[in-house]
C-alpha cells in the first residue's frame, strides 16, 4: 500500500506537470505536504487499511487547510493560510487520502464558469481549452477530468459541483443540506452551501461521501441522520424503481442535442427494469429568482467580515475607518463579488427585506413542498445538469443574467436542500465544420432528503451500463 501511495502521488504530480500549462486547474501545488502524508502512510500500519489510503485528492481553495492558501481565489485573502483544517479535510486525511493542492474557482464561489477568479490562472476545459470548465468548482472538475488527481472536493451552493462536473465529463455530488459539515468552508450562502466530491466514478464518490458525511459538533447545521453504506449500494439492481422526468426540465432554452442525449439516457433506465414517469414541477422557473435573492443576501452578510482588519489583506492606509474599508474592499473584491454584495444588501435593506428575502424564503418553502409531493410517486428525479455543453471562454462574461441561467437546472435541488449527482451520459458535437469537438453532457439525478443511498444506486446502475467514465480528454498539443 505504501509503494502504491508513493506511485500514485508521482503519477499525479506527473499529470499536473503535463496538464497545468494548458488548463490552470490549481492555485497551489502542495507537493511537500503530499510527500509528508505519503511518508505517514508508509510508517503507520493503521493508515494502510483506511478506505482512501494513497488516493491523490485536490481541495477547492475556499475550504480551509493548514497547508496551501485558503484564499477563496480572492485578492482580499491572497496570502491567507488557515490555522486549522476544515472538518471534511480532516476526515479525508484520517481516511488516508493524500492532498496534492488547492484548486482554482470563481472568487468566493460566485460564478458558473471559473472566469470570475480573483487570483491565479484562467481554468480551461480539458476537452477543449477554448471553453470553460464550469463553475464555481471548475478547477476541481478540470483536475479530475485530466487525471491530475483521482478526486477533488468542491463546494456547491447552486450547482457549483454538478455543473462543472457535467461540463468536464466527471461525477459530482451535492449532498443533502446538513449531510456534510460546513466547518472550515468560507461561506457564500450559509443556508445553501455544501461540500462534496468530484470523481471519475460513482463508486469513488460514494466512498468519499461515506468518509466526509456525518454529524460534526463544530457545525450546528450538520445532521445526526446516520450515514449510509453508499458504496455498497453501487451495483445493486434498480428493477421496479421509478424515475421521475419533469417536463419543465426540457422546456425552451435547452440545447437540442443536450435534450436528446439526456432524454435517451433517462429512457435507458427502462432496459434495467426501472419505470420512467413524466412528472411536473411547475415552480421550477421560480427557483432561479429565489436562489439569487437568498444567496446574494446571505453573501452580503457573510462577506462583511472581510475588512482588512480582522480578515484579509492589510494596507498601510492613513484614512478614516470608512475610507479604509472602501479602499481595502474596493481593491480586494472582484466585480462579481461586488455585484453580489450590492444585490444582497439591497435585498436586506430596511423596507425591502420582507418584500425580497422574506418573499423568496416563502417561495423556497413552496418549492421544497413541491419536491416532497413529487417524491411520493417516484424514487428519484432525473434531467439535464446544464442547458448546454461547455461554452466558449468570454461568451457570457458581459451578460450576468445569461451566466446565472447556466444554473437553471441545478438551483432547484439546492433551494430545496436535496441531494443530487451529475453523471456523464453522452458527448455533444459542437463547433464549426473544420473544428468539431466532443463535449461531455451530464445526467442529473435528484433524490429525497438524506436518500443518498438511492441516488448512488441509480447513478451507479447508469454508469455500469454505459461506461462513459472510461472516456478521457487528450493532452493538448
Interatomic CA distance for residues 295 and 337, integer angstroms: 12
The dihedral formed by the CA atoms of 305, 307, 311 and 312, expressed in degrees to the nearest 10: 130
- The catalytic position among 160, 181, 386, 414 is 160
Interatomic CA distance for residues 128 and 473, integer angstroms: 8
- Ramachandran region, residue 240 (left: φ > 0; alpha: ψ -120 to 50; beta: rest): left
Length of the chain: 477
Task: From 24, 118, 29, select the one nearest 72 (Cα to Cα).
Answer: 118
Supply 359's cell numbers: 418573499
137-170 burial, b at 16+ Cβ within 10 Å, e below that, comes to: bbbbbbbbbbbbbbbbbbbbbbbbbbbbbbbbbb
- The catalytic position among 136, 146, 213, 300 is 136
Interatomic CA distance for residues 444 and 464, integer angstroms: 16
Q: How far apart, in Å, are the Cα atoms of 169 and each of 40, 144, 205, 264, 366?
A: 33, 9, 14, 17, 33
Interatomic CA distance for residues 87 and 84, integer angstroms: 9
Interatomic CA distance for residues 227 and 175, integer angstroms: 11
Q: Which helix (H) or strand (E) holds 216?
A: none
Exposed/middle/buried for 11, CB within 10 Å: 0-12, 13-18, 19+? middle
* Integer Rg of the chain from CA: 21
Place of cell 428493477: 239
| 43 has catalytic annotation | no
Q: Decide: 442 and 162 in contact? Cβ < 8 Å.
A: yes
| 60 has catalytic annotation | yes
Interatomic CA distance for residues 383 and 248, integer angstroms: 9
Interatomic CA distance for residues 175 and 332, integer angstroms: 31
- The catalytic position among 2, 12, 60, 430 is 60
Catalytic residues: 60, 136, 160
Amino acid at each position: 500500500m505504501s509503494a502504491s501511495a508513493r506511485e500514485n502521488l508521482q503519477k499525479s504530480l506527473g499529470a499536473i506537470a503535463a496538464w497545468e500549462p494548458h488548463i490552470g486547474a490549481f492555485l497551489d501545488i502542495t507537493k511537500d505536504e503530499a510527500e509528508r502524508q505519503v511518508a505517514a502512510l508508509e510508517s503507520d500500519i493503521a493508515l494502510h487499511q483506511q478506505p482512501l489510503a494513497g488516493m491523490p485528492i485536490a481541495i477547492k481553495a475556499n475550504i480551509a487547510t493548514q497547508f496551501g492558501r485558503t484564499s477563496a481565489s480572492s485578492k482580499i485573502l491572497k496570502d491567507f493560510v488557515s490555522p486549522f483544517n476544515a472538518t471534511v479535510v480532516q476526515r479525508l486525511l484520517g481516511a488516508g487520502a493524500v492532498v496534492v493542492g488547492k484548486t482554482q474557482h470563481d472568487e468566493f464561489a460566485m460564478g458558473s464558469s471559473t472566469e470570475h477568479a480573483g487570483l491565479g490562472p484562467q481554468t480551461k476545459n480539458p476537452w477543449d481549452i477554448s471553453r470553460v470548465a464550469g463553475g464555481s468548482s471548475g478547477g476541481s472538475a478540470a483536475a479530475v477530468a485530466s487525471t491530475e488527481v483521482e478526486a477533488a472536493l468542491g463546494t456547491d451552493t447552486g450547482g457549483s459541483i454538478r455543473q462543472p462536473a457535467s461540463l468536464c465529463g466527471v461525477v459530482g455530488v451535492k449532498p443533502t443540506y446538513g449531510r456534510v459539515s460546513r466547518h472550515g468552508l468560507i461561506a457564500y450562502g450559509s443556508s445553501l452551501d455544501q461540500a462534496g466530491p468530484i470523481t471519475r466514478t460513482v463508486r469513488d464518490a460514494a466512498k468519499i461521501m461515506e468518509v466526509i458525511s456525518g454529524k460534526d459538533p463544530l457545525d450546528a447545521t450538520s445532521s445526526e441522520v446516520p450515514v449510509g453504506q453508499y458504496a455498497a449500494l453501487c451495483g445493486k439492481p434498480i428493477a421496479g424503481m421509478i424515475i421521475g422526468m419533469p417536463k419543465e426540465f426540457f422546456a425552451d432554452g435547452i440545447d437540442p442535442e443536450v435534450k436528446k442525449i439526456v432524454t435517451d439516457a433517462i429512457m435507458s433506465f427502462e432496459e434495467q427494469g426501472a419505470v420512467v414517469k413524466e412528472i411536473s414541477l411547475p415552480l421550477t422557473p421560480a427557483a432561479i429568482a429565489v436562489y439569487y435573492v437568498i444567496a446574494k443576501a446571505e453573501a452580503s452578510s457573510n462577506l462583511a467580515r472581510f475588512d482588512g482588519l480582522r480578515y484579509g489583506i492589510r494596507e498601510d492606509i492613513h484614512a478614516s475607518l470608512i475610507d479604509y474599508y472602501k479602499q481595502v474592499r474596493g481593491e480586494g473584491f472582484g466585480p462579481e463579488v461586488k455585484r453580489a454584495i450590492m444585490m444582497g444588501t439591497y435585498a436586506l435593506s430596511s423596507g425591502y427585506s420582507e418584500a425580497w428575502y422574506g418573499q423568496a424564503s416563502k417561495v423556497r418553502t413552496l418549492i421544497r413542498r413541491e419536491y416532497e409531493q413529487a417524491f411520493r410517486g417516484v424514487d428519484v428525479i432525473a434531467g439535464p445538469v446544464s442547458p448546454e455543453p461547455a461554452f466558449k471562454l468570454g461568451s457570457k462574461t458581459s451578460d450576468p443574467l445569461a451566466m446565472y441561467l447556466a444554473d437553471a437546472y441545478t438551483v432547484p435541488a439546492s433551494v430545496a436542500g436535496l441531494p443530487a449527482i451529475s453523471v456523464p451520459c453522452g458527448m455533444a458535437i459542437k463547433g464549426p465544420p473544420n473544428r468539431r469537438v466532443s463535449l461531455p453532457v451530464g445526467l442529473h439525478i435528484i433524490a429525497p432528503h438524506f436518500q443518498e443511498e438511492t441516488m448512488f444506486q441509480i447513478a451507479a446502475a447508469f454508469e455500469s451500463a454505459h461506461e462513459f467514465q472510461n472516456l478521457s480528454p487528450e493532452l493538448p498539443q
